[in-house]
């Protein structure tokens, strides 16, 4: 289990007696780009929340970057961008620069002092995301696409080894969505960042992910993307058209 970015075994989780996940077992190697899909209510967000410690599992084992989740404390090694703009308060009184600095600060242990290397990391991330020229603007005034880019920068400013994205592009137009996914792809290819992406956007999975997890409370498929596309069993489950939609690399 220790070499994997993420390893989950026999996981069960739910809410108030109802079951959201059962017997979930899979692992993700470092440097993989895993697309997670499945129907509404199939437990995708719950899975992400369990991984991040936001929902307690009822049973099972989770290993994060080689450490059991119960004792994992280095959260700066993991970047998280939640669903849509779920947790975003448009009145949050901060500039782009401040939002990204806050991300850097939250990854530090006490006493939280901002050093030169932190400023450099903020600058580097803004350059990488192409948002240096809007550093002084208030986050609440930005368009949805730019705001998502800033929040991605905040998730990346600690140069995480594992990046978790839960439907990050729901509010974005197709062009902005595409450029957003390209950035994430570059992170994965050039920096070796392991990516977990929850999305209903099957075309995106087909284009960028190396691996696919299809969830329906339990794991229906988890593995190499090409194996999914060549699996007759999956054709039976999705139909030729459904499988083609996921597998067609544009
Ligand atoms: N906070 C909660 N309290 C109670 N039940 C919940 C809660 N969050 C999710 N659930 C239930 O758990 C199940 C899985 O939900 P989850 O949000 O993980 O699915 P999902 O695959 O992410 O769905 P979607 O594709 O619609 O975003 C659903 O039946 C949902 O109603």
CB of 124 within 8 A of CB of 132?
A: no
Instruction: State the distance from the centre of ligand 1 to the C-alpha of 192, rounded, in angstroms.
Output: 31
The ligand 1 site (C-beta within 6 Å) comprises: 15, 20, 38, 40-46
What local confidence, expressed as pLDDT, does residue 120 receive?
92
Nearest-CA residue for ligand 1 atom 28 is 41
What local confidence, expressed as pLDDT, does residue 17 receive?
82
Contacts of 221 (CB under 8 A, 6+ apart): 212, 213, 214, 228, 231, 234
Nearest-CA residue for ligand 1 atom 30 is 41
Instruction: State the distance from the centre of ligand 1 to the C-alpha of 81, rounded, in angstroms.
Output: 17
**Rounded Cα gap, residues 135 and 70, in angstroms:** 37
The ligand 1 atom nearest the CA atom of 21: 14
Phi and psi dihedrals of 16, rounded to 5? 45, 50
CB of 50 within 8 A of CB of 11?
A: yes
Instruction: State the distance from the centre of ligand 1 to the C-alpha of 116, rounded, in angstroms.
Output: 42
Tell me the pairing of strands 33-37 and 59-64: unpaired
Pocket test for ligand 1, best of 11, 19, 20 (most atoms within 8 A of CB): 20
Instruction: State the distance from the centre of ligand 1 to the C-alpha of 216, rounded, in angstroms.
Output: 11
How do the domains of the chain map onto residue ranges? 70-247
**Domain 70-247 belongs to what architecture?**
3-Layer(aba) Sandwich (3.40)
The ligand 1 atom nearest the CA atom of 14: 12
**Rounded Cα gap, residues 34 and 32, in angstroms:** 6
Q: How many other C-beta atoms lie within 10 A of the C-beta of residue 171?
A: 16
What local confidence, expressed as pLDDT, does residue 106 receive?
78
What local confidence, expressed as pLDDT, does residue 188 receive?
94
Q: What is the pLDDT along the chain (250 residues), one digit of tens a residue?
A: 447 999 999 999 999 889 999 999 999 999 999 999 999 999 999 999 999 999 999 999 999 999 999 999 898 899 998 876 555 676 778 999 999 998 888 766 666 777 888 899 999 989 888 899 999 999 989 988 888 889 889 998 998 999 999 988 877 788 878 888 888 998 899 989 999 999 988 778 888 999 999 999 999 999 998 888 888 887 887 777 777 777 766 5
Q: What is the dihedral of CA 129, 135, 137, 141, to 10 degrees?
A: 20
**Rounded Cα gap, residues 243 and 43, in angstroms:** 21
**DSSP notation for 142-207:** S-HHHHHHHHHHHHHTT--SEEEEESTTTTS-HHHHHHHHHHHHHHHHHH--EEEEE-S-HHHHHH
Phi and psi dihedrals of 24, rounded to 5? -85, 120
What local confidence, expressed as pLDDT, does residue 226 receive?
85
What local confidence, expressed as pLDDT, does residue 63 receive?
96
Instruction: State the distance from the centre of ligand 1 to the C-alpha of 202, rounded, in angstroms.
Output: 20
Instruction: State the distance from the centre of ligand 1 to the C-alpha of 60, rounded, in angstroms.
Output: 19
User: H or E segment at 220?
Assistant: strand 218-224
Q: What is the dihedral of CA 40, 206, 23, 48, to 10 degrees?
A: -70
Instruction: State the distance from the centre of ligand 1 to the C-alpha of 18, rounded, in angstroms.
Output: 10
Nearest-CA residue for ligand 1 atom 5 is 15
Q: Which of 122, 110, 118, 175 is nearest to 146 (CA)?
A: 175
pLDDT in tens, 83-121: 765 556 767 789 999 999 988 887 666 667 778 888 999
């Amino acid at each position: 289990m220790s070499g994997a970015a993420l390893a989950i075994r026999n996981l069960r989780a739910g809410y108030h007696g109802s079951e959201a996940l059962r017997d979930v077992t899979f692992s993700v190697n470092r440097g993989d780009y895993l697309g997670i899909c499945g129907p509404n209510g199939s437990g995708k967000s719950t899975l992400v929340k369990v991984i991040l410690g936001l929902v307690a599992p009822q049973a099972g084992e989770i290993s994060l970057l080689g450490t059991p989740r119960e004792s994992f404390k280095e959260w700066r090694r993991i970047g998280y961008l939640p669903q849509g703009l779920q947790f975003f308060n448009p009145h949050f009184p901060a500039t782009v620069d401040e939002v990204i600095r806050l991300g850097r600060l939250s990854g530090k242990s006490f006493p939280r002092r901002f050093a030169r290397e932190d400023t450099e990391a903020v600058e580097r991330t803004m350059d990488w995301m192409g948002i240096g020229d809007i550093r002084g603007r208030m986050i609440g005034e930005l368009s949805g696409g730019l705001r998502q880019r800033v929040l991605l920068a905040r998730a990346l400013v600690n140069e995480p080894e594992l990046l978790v994205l839960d439907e990050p592009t729901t509010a974005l137009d197709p062009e902005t969505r595409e450029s957003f996914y390209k950035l994430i792809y570059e992170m994965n290819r050039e920096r070796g960042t392991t990516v977990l992406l929850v999305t209903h956007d099957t075309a995106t999975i087909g284009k960028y992910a190396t691996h696919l997890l299809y969830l329906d409370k339990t794991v229906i498929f988890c593995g190499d993307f090409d194996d999914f596309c060549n699996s007759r069993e999956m054709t039976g489950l999705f139909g030729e058209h459904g499988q083609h939609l996921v597998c067609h690399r544009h």
